Structures are given as structure tokens and as C-alpha cells.
Amino acid sequence: MTSLTRPVAIAGVGYSDLSRKGEPQPNSLAIAAAKAALSDAGLPATEVDGIFEYKFGPESPGAQDMARLLGIPDLAAFADIMASNPSGLGGVLAGVMAVASGACETVLVFRCLTRTAGHQGGVASGPDQITGRDQFLTPYGYLGGILVNLALKKRRWMDEHGRPEEDFGRIAVNARRWSALNPRAVLRETMTMEDYLSSRMVVDPLRVLDCDYPVNGAVATLITTAERAKNLRQPAVLVEAMSYATGRGADWVFDVDFLYGGMFECAERLWQRSALTLNDVDVAQVYDGFTPVTVAWLEALGACGRGEFGDWVGDGSRLGPGGDFPLNTAGGQLAEGRLHGIGFLNEAVLQLRGQAERRQVAGARVALVASGVYPQCGAMVLTAS
């Protein structure tokens, strides 16, 4: 079953090398990931007639640039999707819709990030006085960037539900359990809860180990029709359902639901469109740009109720290797590196193909992917063919 106009499949996945140092050129990273995805599917670049990419600015080449660099003669559908979308997964969702609608037949989606050109956290000076509209937004972290906003969300969740920081630490510690099994991950050292609780505060109570790890790297995905995918190199992974949501208010500061934004609406829409439920999911890949985001997504998706994550997750072992709810099996952005949404999708594809090597979840047939933050939500259910 699919709610799409015609069945769509993920046919190829690719990565560039991931690095923590140096200044590689974005074009080189993006081309490496794209060529890897094309090779994975067994398709020449000339077969691609759609390109979608997500970007903040100079950290990534544009869709038309990539077409020229890869020698693609013409594009029937393309877009450079800027920051107001479900992170890098926004490009994938747009690509799925383009193929499902018949606008094009084969779509390349990519996300490229570099530590020097990308949108990274940092310290900046500000004005001594704030007036006008901004005086009402600054107390909510608007001018302080996403770190202030996420610190407010973490504090509010803990205070509303009477829960300790350790609940968020379970997400961070779990990332390292999985990344230790992933040779591509940039952070593979074991982490303990003591390490988490002693890590540096960025904006109280948000710790540095609550935040994803910036890398130089690119990731790419190839999308085509389910019919065409049958004749390609890899087992097809089918898109069973997908959804977007903004939630009421659609605002980072004054969203009606400050802790969840559109996450509950996105999850409800996803399950309404799917023949499957959360109980059918074998492996979950859930956005972890910040640990409060992951906690909110898991509650919204139905793993537990609002404020119940701490009781549900217990000591965290259920999320790790051998657990009953394998989560972010490549290490996520907290440990594999900040690949910004598409990395979660590619890991889900590898799991459903049975190609995740040491981190493989036995018998995985259904995967859940959820990406983005608060008013910028997107989710997918994928199945093995």
C-alpha cells in the first residue's frame, strides 16, 4: 500500500568521506556522494532528470551546478530548498513527490556541509540595547540562535514533567553505542552518563553533548519509480508513506505547542497514510541535531505519551544494539556526524537491504525516518521490497 500517486523507491545511497579537519571544497564532497549513489544503483548520471538539494548557502553547490558538474543534459524538475524545511529530508520528500507525480523519473537528492562554509554554531557579539519587534523575541532565544531556543525547550520539558537531565543523556550515550560499530562515524569513543553530565554547558541547560557534531561531508540519495528500481543493482526500498507538518503557529518562538511544534501533526498524518503502525517498525532513524528534538519526536510518534520518555526509555538499553527499539543505528548526527537529515534516510535504506554490517538489525523490514524541528517537520515509512 502507498498513498503516493505511483509507487516510489530509494534506489541508491552514497557518502563522501567525512572529516573533522581541513577545508575540502563543497563541490568535491557533493560530487563524491552523488557518484557513490549512482554507482550504488548502477545508473549513469545521464539517467537523472531531477535534482533537489537542501542548503543554507555557500556550503553546498546548487542543483543546476550539480547537473553541469555531473554531465546531466537536462532537468525536468529541480529545486534548491532553503532552511525552512524538514532539514535535509526536505529534499528527499520533494524528490519523492516529483517521481510520484510523474514530473520526472529519477531524482538525485544531496546535502553537503563543510565546517568553514556551513551554518555552524558560534559566539557572536550583539547590540547593547534591543528595540522594536526584536525586544519581544530575544527572551525566547530569537537573536541568540537555535542553541538558546533548544536550551529553553530542554528546561521547560524537565520542569513540566519533573524529569532529570539523564533522560536526554540516554540519547547521547546511545549514539556512541551505535557509532562504535560504524567505521564511517567521526566520533566512535565510548561515552558514559558521567561524561554527558560533566560536559560543558553551551546555554544552560543545553550541553555540548546534547548537540550534533559538525563535519565536512556530503550524502546523496537516488529516487526512482518502484517499477524501474526492480531492474537496478540494489534491492529496492519502497516509500510506504510520507508526511509534512508545521503545526499551528508555524513559528520557532511563538508556536502554539512550544515543545513539539508540528511533530504530533506530522506523526498523525504519517500513520493515517500508512498501512503500518509504530509497532511494525523494526528500526527508527530520528533527527538528533539536539537531544531535546529526539525526545520530542519519540513522544510525538507514539513511542510514549507527552512527558513519558524518561519512564519509557529506562536505562536506554532498548535503543541500542540488541534492544527492542533500535534508534539511530549509524550513530546519528551526534556521533556519525552532522549530515542533516539525509544521513538518517540512507541508514534506514542500508538496514532494510541488510547491508549495515556490524550494526545490522536482524530481520529489519520496516523503517521509520523523522527529520526536522518544531515548525519544520517531515517523516517517512520505508519498507523492504
3-state secondary structure 158-176: HHHHCCCCHHHHHHHHHHH
Contact 373, 245 (CB under 8 A): no
- Give the residue carrying C-alpha cell 534548491: 80
Check if 1-115+214-234 and 146-213+239-384 are the same fold.
yes
Between vectors from CA 380 to CA 379 and to CA 381, what angle results, nearest 5°?
Answer: 140
* SS3 at position 27: helix
Chain segment 145-203, per-residue pLDDT in tens: 688 889 999 999 999 999 999 999 999 999 999 999 999 999 999 999 999 999 999 99
Q: If you average pLDDT over residues 227-237, what whole number do you get?
A: 97
Can the peptide bond before residue 205 be classed as cis, meaning omega within 30 degrees of 0?
Answer: yes
CA of 297: how far to CAs of 74, 189, 210, in Å?
A: 38, 26, 15
CA distances from 285 to 197, 255, 372 (A): 24, 25, 12
What is the per-residue pLDDT for 141? 65
What is the DSSP secondary structure assignment for residue 303, as one 8-state letter? S
Q: Which helix (H) or strand (E) holds 194?
A: helix 193-197
d(CA 22, CA 342): 23
Q: Which residue has the cell 550541553?
A: 207
Instruction: Give tens-digit pLDDT for 88-133.
Output: 899 999 999 999 999 999 999 999 999 887 666 555 666 778 888 8
Architecture field, domain 146-213+239-384: 3-Layer(aba) Sandwich (3.40)
* Contact (Cβ atoms closer than 8 angstroms) between residue 60 and residue 116: no
Q: Which three cell numbers stand for residue 172?
A: 547521547
Q: How far is CA 213 from CA 30, 233, 373, in A?
A: 19, 33, 17
23: closest CA among 113, 94, 150, 86? 113
Of 34, 114, 119, nearest in space to 346 by CA: 34
Q: What is the pLDDT confidence band of residue 251, given thresholds at 50, 70 and 90?
A: confident
For 278, how many CA atoms within 13 A lie in the half-sphere containing its CB?
A: 18
pLDDT tens digits for 3-44? 678 999 999 999 999 999 888 999 999 999 999 999 999 999
Strand, coil or helix: 197 = helix
pLDDT of residue 125: 67
Confidence band (pLDDT; 50, 70, 90) for 134? confident
pLDDT value at residue 14? 98
Average pLDDT of the chain is: 93
Pairing mode, if any, of strands 237-245 and 283-286? unpaired
Sketch the domain layout of the chain as residue ranges.
1-115+214-234, 146-213+239-384
What pLDDT digit, counting tens, does each position of 296-340 carry?
999 999 999 999 999 999 999 999 999 999 999 999 999 999 988
Give the class (CATH, top level) of 1-115+214-234.
Answer: alpha beta
Number of alpha carbons in the 13 Å side-chain half-sphere of residue 118: 22
CB atoms under 10 Å from CB of 314, counted, come to 11
The kind and range of the H/E element at 276 are: none
Give the whole-angstrom CA distance, residue 368 versus residue 345: 9
- 247 strand-pairing partners: none
Going by their DSSP bridges, the two strands 106-113 and 217-225 should be labelled as antiparallel
Taking the CA atoms of residue 90, residue 236, residue 219 and residue 281 in that order, the dihedral angle to the nearest 10 degrees is 60
Give me the percent of the chain exceeding a pLDDT of 70: 95
Tell me the C-alpha to C-alpha distance, in Å, between residue 105 and each of 54, 57, 93.
20, 27, 15
Q: How far apart are CA 363 and CA 348, in angstroms?
A: 13
